[in-house]
Amino acid sequence: MSIQLAFKALSDPTRRDILELLRERDMTAGEIAEQFNMTKPSISHHLNLLKQADLVIDERQGQFIYYSINTTVLQDLMSWLWTFKKGEK
Amino acid sequence: MSIQLAFKALSDPTRRDILELLRERDMTAGEIAEQFNMTKPSISHHLNLLKQADLVIDERQGQFIYYSINTTVLQDLMSWLWTFKKGEK
């Protein structure tokens, strides 16, 4: 279930920071790692969890793999959250 | 950090089901437990996590404690998710 994986992926601050970074532009794992005080394997682990949750997409461009945000699941989450507005008092 | 606790709380399907149930009307822990094939202590545990994440509020009404949805944090989550729409391609 993607909503499940997505909420789990988003419960980690580093993974939210990665998404906020990718909001600016697509980046390679190396570029992302440079922005954090973390090893590249740690960043790769977080990127994999984001990928499993369909929150990011990786795409080869020439010799590099670029990560970008997949807005589809984020929109699914928003739709789910939106259902709670109806019953607002 | 409430956004942190909220995403964590929402990563569990039972807790999302509880919220969906409370979307219909406010309920006591007992009424909620009746809807699930779970013990009351298990439901209480989930309700506590939802309360810690500020996703539900408990309020005494006479001799009963009613749980209701707190939309504030849900709106914070929506605002955060919304920031990713801007960069949409």
Does residue B80 form part of some domain?
no
Q: How many CB atoms lie within 10 A of CB A16?
A: 18
The CATH number given to whatever domain includes residue B24 is 1.10.10.10
Q: Does A23 have pLDDT greater than 50? A: yes
Average pLDDT, chain A: 92
The model's confidence at residue B1, banded by pLDDT at 50, 70 and 90, is: low
pLDDT tens per residue, range B50-70: 999 999 999 999 999 999 999
Does residue A50 form part of some domain?
yes
Q: Is the pTM of this model over 0.80?
A: yes
CB B65 within 8 A of CB A2: no
Does residue B35 form part of some domain?
yes
Closest B-chain CA to A84: B23
Does residue A63 form part of some domain?
yes
Using an 8 Å CB-CB cutoff, list chain A residues near B71: 84-85, 88
pLDDT of residue A89: 47
Does residue A32 form part of some domain?
yes
Name the more confident of A37 and A86: A37
Paired tokens of B3? 């956004």
- Residue A11 to residue B13, Cβ atoms within 8 A: no
Does residue B24 form part of some domain?
yes
Amino acid in position B16: R
Chain centroid, CA B8 distance in Å: 11
Amino acid in position B58: D
CB A29 within 8 A of CB A47: yes
Write out the residue range of the structural domain in which residue B61 sits: 2-73
Q: How far is A41 from chain B (nearest CA, A)?
A: 23
